[in-house]
Amino acid sequence: MSRTEDTLRANKQSGGSLIGYFPLGYPTLDDSIEAAVAMCESGVDVLELGIPYSDPVMDGIVIQKATEEALENGFRLSNAFEAIRKITSRVKAPVLVMTYWNPVLAYGVERFASDLADSGAVGAITPDLIPDEATKWISATDAQNLDRVFLATPSSSDSRVGNASESSRGFVYAVSTMGITGAREDLDAKAKEVVSRVRSNAPKSLTAVGIGISTEDQVRQVNSYADGAIVGSAFIAAYASKGLVGLTAKVRELAKGKS
């Protein structure tokens, strides 16, 4: 069973879910641990912990700056699992990591999956890995009973949407618009289309929409047709502005959109 899927299904009965992203190591490792715990205590239902990477090609400027600061302050991949262990010991929400594929390859696919499971995390989102090239990852996550989340985009063919949906475990990450991540005033109308295509190709799959969500109304809008709303840049910007106080206030604000 998938704890992530169980959480999303249960919450859908009362409205929906808020999935929150925060980068490990930002601004320091200890700070990111406290931020992650505070997010879960303030209304995040599923937590995504970003693993900083030196070439974050899919991330917007807010996330790029945060991950660059984390790396400059000494974050290393070896720090991630102990940090996750500390977070999962304090929260009930399912915890996933979001990571580019190169760090996983460098660390060792089977070793990464094993250490991830040992840390208490429930799985990983790999935005630049497509199922066609994920044979080793699928095998490793199956062996460790981990969720694996692939992306479906507006430009994906039906066959690729179907493959991403069938290969995912936990949920399918439906990208609301083409381009890099970051808060936007208006969500791309293509978000509904991507979710619809996922469900047409894999009726049992759950979907969460990410890239561009920053307001309570957007969280509510996304949860009206998907199974969860993913927020990242807005939370990091709130933390950068007012620290934990700003972050928890933003989480509470957006969490109102679940009902």
Catalytic residue positions, numbered: 48, 59
* Residue 156 CA to its chain's centroid (Å): 20
Q: Which of 120, 112, 125 is nearest to 90 (CA)?
A: 120
Q: Cα–Cα distances in Å, from 118 out to 86, 97, 115, 146, 228? A: 12, 13, 5, 11, 26
- Distance, in Å, from the CA atom of 46 to the CA atom of 223, rounded to the nearest integer, reads 14
* Distance, first Cα to last Cα, the chain: 26
- Distance, in Å, from the CA atom of 125 to the CA atom of 129, rounded to the nearest integer, reads 9
Q: Are strands 207-210 and 172-175 parallel, antiparallel or unpaired?
A: parallel
With H, G, I as helix, E, B as strand and everything else as coil, classify residue 178. Answer: coil
Centre a 10 Å sphere on the Cβ of residue 184 and count the other Cβ atoms it contains: 18
In degrees and rounded to multiples of 5, residue 19 shows phi and psi of -105, 120
- Distance, in Å, from the CA atom of 153 to the CA atom of 177, rounded to the nearest integer, reads 7
Q: Which of 91, 97, 44 is nearest to 213 (CA)?
A: 44
Q: What DSSP state is assigned to residue 48?
A: E
